[in-house]
Structure 1
Amino acid sequence: MSSSNSIQILLIDNYDSFTFNLQHIIAVNSDVVLTVRRNDYNFLREIEKAKYSGVVIGPGPGSPEDEEYFGLNKKVILEYGTKGLPILGICLGFQGIYSCFGGALKVAKLPIHGKISRLQIIDNGTILCNVPNHIDIMRYHSIMADLDKQKPSCLMLNAYTFQSPSQDINGKELMAIEHRDYPIYGLQFHPESFATEYGKLMTDNFINRCRKQG
């Protein structure tokens, strides 16, 4: 049950088991009313009514370049994120944000599933605020940002992997982004994983941004 002091957040489930872990780490905040919708549910009408103070685009097994699979997520990013609605993209959501603003994606030569890397923070920004450098992060992805091609100037590239063996095969691995003008954020890794250090702080940083939204 919501109250006048609560904030409502939408979590988009892209048919992924990690959604339940994300649900737990977000909903544990007592003032958060969390709604989970599958990516084929017409949640746009709920957003249009200004029901939510923020949206989390969860991970998933598909590609953000698959319009049928990711299309509604894309509309949330481009139609509502650019109007000031806070958005946090996790894994697939990160890739979708990067792609929506003109970034190229590629299939990793070495897919990373259930592997721990360390994080090199270049700019803490909003989501990584008060997160120390070189922490452990958990990764599950086979698609990644292609940094050999033109990078979106509207996005800050906040963090990369640090001394990861996969870098020798995949090239530089982008792990966190933030839009320069709008409250749109992305993490390639999984903050909800027990193996990611300070993961709860990262999601709390997003929730704090949503609280400012009202």
Structure 2
Amino acid sequence: MASPTIAESNDVPIIGVLSQETYIVSSYFPNKTYDSYIAASYVKFLESAGARVVPIWIGQNEEYYRRVIQYTNGIFFPGGGTYFNETGGYGEAATQLYKIALEQNNKGVYYPIWAICLGMQGLMYAALNGTKDIRVACSLVNEAVSLDFVEDYQKSKMFRNAPKEITDILSTENATYNLHRYCLTKAVLKENDLLDSWRIVATNKDINNLEFISVMEHKDFPFYGVQFHPEKNQFEFKKGKHFPHSFNSIKTAQYFANFFVNECRKNANKFPNETIEAESLIYNFSPKYTGLKSGYYEQIYVFLKSDFERVQLL
């Protein structure tokens, strides 16, 4: 196993955000059918820390996903709601991207992955090569809580250099927003021989007192997952939702954005030319306002298959 090499500096990282099927947002557009979507809050989350974003299409071949990783400085698996066993879907794409990112890191290329909620669960699906969904039923919906850090959490890459103010807020204030009916536990990681590669950093308990993993990271490579939604602290404002918007909760959300984007600055990948780069960025698309409709998103990006063909990266 090679040690990934860190680039000297890349102050303008570009991060790929994986799209997903439209199951939980299709009701927003009763007169039009879209093929995939990305919540705008994930894009803003990365942009807030100085990154640019490229949407990653589901349902593509391995050659496409290899180009995505060759051209970008990191990958983001967002939360949402879909199945992992869909042909040409989120789980299949995440598995291919994870496999290629793992290859790159094993070859000595420092290539980070960040995953939130569904994305963290997808990380484990991908780590098992897309052969087994190990999520368990778990309910903590529309609740902000503090983190229960494990005893040696300060040894983790995510927090070893974190300001004490940040870890104090996370451990004492309800600054992490949860919205999930499935989760990962230490038991299922152990059953599937994942604990040798993955470190549990923090946990929480759901409404039935089931302890689930809230923060985890790979022991050797820059792969990170959180079950909660830091992006909602900053960029989602639906009434009736318990999104934490205090000054301290915003500080913690920004810490996570800064941490991951800074990890991506350690990668030196780039697009083959400025034209392909410009035509691939999410700036080519406009988010749609969904704040007046039910759900949890203020804005989302929606995509058609024709969009896949238009973007030169494909």
Cα drift, residue 5 of structure 1: 4.5
**Where does residue 157 of structure 2 map in the other structure?**
126
Distance 1:184 1:82 in 2: 13
Is residue 60 from structure 1 mapped to residue 86 from structure 2 by the alignment? no
**Where does residue 309 of structure 2 map in the other structure?**
none
The TM-score normalised by the length of structure 1 is 0.83
**Aligned in 2, Cα 1:112/1:7: closer, same or farther, shift over 3 Å?**
same
Point out the structure with the larger strand share: 1
Cα drift, residue 150 of structure 1: 4.5
3-state SS of paired residue (1:173)? strand
**Where does residue 115 of structure 1 map in the other structure?**
143
Match among 107, 116, 139 for residue 90 of structure 1: 116
Letter in 1 for 2:147: L
Match among 194, 200, 224 for residue 157 of structure 1: 200
Distance 1:47 1:5 in 2: 19
Match among 246, 251, 256 for residue 202 of structure 1: 256
Distance 2:83 2:17 in 1: 18
Distance 1:143 1:212 in 2: 33
More displaced, 195-204 or 177-186? 195-204
The TM-score normalised by the length of structure 2 is 0.58
Match among 42, 52, 56 for residue 37 of structure 1: 56
Letter in 1 for 2:17: L
Asked whether the equivalents of residues 46 and 52 of structure 2 are also in contact (C-alpha less than 8 Å), the reply is no
**Where does residue 47 of structure 1 map in the other structure?**
68
Match among 80, 85, 93 for residue 101 of structure 2: 80
Letter in 1 for 2:221: Y
Asked whether the equivalents of residues 139 and 190 of structure 1 are also in contact (C-alpha less than 8 Å), the reply is yes
**Aligned in 2, Cα 1:165/1:207: closer, same or farther, shift over 3 Å?**
closer
Per-residue deviation, residues 92-120 of structure 1 (Å, max 9, x unmatched)? 11001123335832122xx2222112111
Counterparts of 1:117-196 in structure 2, within 5 Å, are 117-122=145-150, 123-124=153-154, 125-128=156-159, 129-130=161-162, 131-132=166-167, 133-134=170-171, 135=173, 136-151=175-190, 152=194, 153-161=196-204, 164=205, 166=207, 169-194=208-233, 195=244
Is residue 8 from structure 1 mapped to residue 14 from structure 2 by the alignment? yes
Distance 1:96 1:142 in 2: 14
Letter in 2 for 1:107: A
Cα drift, residue 21 of structure 1: 0.6
Letter in 1 for 2:229: H
**Aligned in 2, Cα 1:13/1:200: closer, same or farther, shift over 3 Å?**
farther
**Aligned in 2, Cα 1:5/1:148: closer, same or farther, shift over 3 Å?**
closer
3-state SS of paired residue (1:140)? strand
> Unaligned stretches of 5+ in structure 1?
none
Cα drift, residue 68 of structure 1: 4.0
Relative contact order, higher structure (CA 8 A, sep 6+): 2
Point out the structure with the larger helix share: 2
Is residue 24 from structure 1 mapped to residue 24 from structure 2 by the alignment? no
Asked whether the equivalents of residues 81 and 184 of structure 1 are also in contact (C-alpha less than 8 Å), the reply is no
Structure with larger Rg: 2
